[in-house]
Amino acid sequence: MLSKVVNLNNLSIRNKLIILFIIISIIPFIALGLVIGVTVEKILGEQATKNTYQLIDQVNATFESYITNLQNVSYLISLDTEVNSFFNGMNKEEQRIREDYSIRQKMQGFTSLYPEIAGIFLINKQGEYISNELFAQSDADLTKEEWYEKAVENKGIFKIIGKPKNRNIISQINYKDNEVVTVVRAILDRETQEVTGVILIDLKIRVLGEAMNNIRLGLSGYLMLVDEEGQELYSTNNKRSIPIPQEVLKGEEYGAYQKEIGKEKMEFIYQRTPFTQWTTVGVFYVEESVAEVREIKFYLMSFVFFLCLVGVTASYYFSHSISNPITGLMSLMKRVENGNMKIQYKEQRKDEIGKLGQTFNHMISKINSLISLNELQEKQKREAELRSLQAHIKPHFLYNTLDTINWMARKHGAKDVAEVVSSLSSLFRIGLSKGKDIILVKEEIKHIESYLRIQKARYQEKLNYEIVVDPSIEEVKILKLVLQPIVENAIYHGIKERKGAGYIKIDIKEQDDSLYLMVSDDGKGISKENVYLLKEKLHTLTILDKKEKESIDFGYGMMNVQARIKLTYGKGYGITLESNADKGTVVTIKLPVNR
């Protein structure tokens, strides 16, 4: 992967621009074409499926309407008193003849009102029947036939049998068994709930076909109606219908399913009616729907190819117009690299290349100036190094001289002078500490003790102090010179300004894995406004402006310590301040415990 990146980096600008144009123009066009093609195919497929569902739903609604009519007819017949008399078989012969005629007239009325009915057949439990269109082929007992037994098993509930098979009933109008669908309903005695007879009604399949034949599914798609057992009831395909897969018959109430049958890939879109349990299936050849999508894709990809051709041509032209001036400018830079510092870019262009050329000319002029300046600075640097060496010698000479004064003062018995000089010498020595910024706690304490002894010699009884240190933390390493500026503020702006003697306490302890250095005094204190201002400045590390310095004449040393702590240890450490006017001030320094 790395070698590929390196190879890409080694390409010329012209080639990179060509690749860039291809990436930002041609590839998006191709991707757009593919996305549109897939989207169109998906939308067309979803639309075709949605339309097929709507058509199937209309067909199923028609089927259910027909079956509902048959159910209503069977219900109305079962309520007729003459029909119930026939089923009970208790009338005399003359009355029976009159009732049979009346029943036939009523049945004739139903078949006239509902032309989809091919015939109505009434049979009682004795095997006697009444019908205008249907009659028995032989004297065999019709109550032993399958359709009769299924009606009895359903206990008076309407039952769809489907296409009749081998029944001993023929149609007067010569309807064949495959031209009708049979429904039955058993009639129960209201008191005993025993079956007294069965109503059989044949529905013309032709009316189902009329609802289906007007629907076209693509070029060669067709509709098929099958019952709950998978038996074909009707198909709009004049040729042999394709068997419906079991996944469709035993699946959900509706859906789409694809299967390869023979060498053809077929799609089945189906919906089952909850009342009849019939399934209407739309059968498609997948290749036909794909062919339409392919045509759309062909025109789309032709257009994309044309755009890509134009894009490649444009990319070559634009890359050439951009890379050539850059190549010329690069040639000038190579001449500068070989030492020719007098070269200049002379083309008059107002685009970015022209501006780059002008910048190149300014750069050459600047380089020539910097060469001269660098020679001067090298000379000044050598002189500054010499002065720095001399300045570094002075502090060492100073505290060595102070040691000499200390020795001479002790020799002449001036112990107070010797003590102050010794403290000042120690102050300088620890302040330098061989150039180190991190020292031990005990060294910082020694430094602040030296400072306080010097101040004690000056203020006498006005200044009293106490230093409390936990011995276990004396070897902890801390940033040097963090206490002296704080103690100096406490003396000059606290103790000095109060009446009478003052007291400063320095308390150093370890708590919660942190080191706390607290400097408290009982001096003049700070007003609330100035405390708020100092806290804000300590938090933001901003220097007091001119107006703020008029109200607060200290804080620079504290700000310096805060900045050093933040820089060394981070945001979690630093100085906090609490003070009340005329009551004193407490400054707490939080540092990490570093052993």
Mean pLDDT of 354-361: 80
Instruction: Give pTM, 2 decimals.
Output: 0.46
pLDDT classification of 92: cutoffs 50, 70, 90? low
**Structure tokens, 556:** 């620079």
Q: Domain count of the chain?
A: 2
pLDDT of residue 253: 78
Query: Vertex 381, ends 376 and 386: CA angle to 5°?
Result: 135
Range of the domain at 503: 468-592
How many angstroms separate the first and last alpha carbons of the chain? 47
User: What contacts 454, CB < 8 A, 6 or more positions away?
Assistant: 420, 423, 424, 427
User: Quick one: which H or E segment has residue 508?
Assistant: strand 502-511
pLDDT classification of 89: cutoffs 50, 70, 90? confident
The domain that contains 545 carries what CATH number? 3.30.565.10
Work out the mean pLDDT of the chain and round it to a whole number: 79
> Of 80-84, 394-398, 480-484, 529-533, which range is least confident?
394-398
- Distance between CA 240 and CA 110 in Å, rounded? 35
pLDDT of residue 94: 57
The domain that contains 113 carries what CATH number? 3.30.450.20
pLDDT of residue 3: 47
CA neighbours within 13 Å on the CB side: how many for 95?
8
Mean pLDDT of 444-459: 84
Cα distances (angstroms) measured from residue 164 to each of 74, 137, 243, 435: 18, 14, 20, 114
Q: Chain centroid to CA 37: how far?
A: 27
Provide the Cα torsion 509, 478, 433, 421; round to 10°. Answer: -30
Q: What percent of the chain has pLDDT over 90?
A: 11
**Structure tokens, 150:** 């299924």
Q: Is the dihedral of CA 129, 132, 134, 138 positive or negative?
A: positive
Domain boundary among 291, 312, 333: 312
Q: Are strands 264-272 and 477-479 parallel, antiparallel or unpaired?
A: unpaired
Q: Are strands 264-272 and 574-580 parallel, antiparallel or unpaired?
A: unpaired
pLDDT of residue 398: 56
pLDDT of residue 589: 95
**Does 126 have pLDDT greater than 60?**
yes
Mean pLDDT of 336-349: 77
- Is 226 or 198 the better-scoring residue by pLDDT? 198
Whether residue 58 is contained in a domain is answered as yes
**Does 310 have pLDDT greater than 80?**
no
**Does 388 have pLDDT greater than 60?**
no
| Phi, psi dihedral angles at 440 (to 5 degrees) | -80, 160
> Of 69-73, 173-177, 197-201, which range is least confident?
173-177
Per-residue three-class SS string for 94-126? HHHHHHHHHHHHHHHHHHHHCCCEEEEEEEECC
> Of 146-155, 437-446, 542-551, which range is least confident?
542-551
Q: pLDDT of 489-531, one tens digit each?
A: 888 888 888 888 899 999 999 998 899 999 999 988 888 888 8
pLDDT of residue 469: 93
pLDDT of residue 289: 62
Provide the Cα torsion 77, 81, 83, 88; round to 10°. Answer: 130
Domain boundary among 312, 328, 359: 312
pLDDT classification of 177: cutoffs 50, 70, 90? confident
- Is 216 or 236 the better-scoring residue by pLDDT? 236
Whether residue 7 is contained in a domain is answered as no
User: What contacts 535, CB < 8 A, 6 or more positions away?
Assistant: 576, 577
Whether residue 330 is contained in a domain is answered as no
Closest CA to 161 of 198, 196, 189: 198
**Structure tokens, 528:** 């609330």
CB 226 within 8 A of CB 123: no
Domain boundary among 280, 295, 312: 312
| Phi, psi dihedral angles at 241 (to 5 degrees) | -75, 150
Whether residue 152 is contained in a domain is answered as yes
Mean pLDDT of 473-492: 89
Q: pLDDT of 223-253, one tens digit each?
A: 888 887 778 888 877 776 777 777 777 777 7
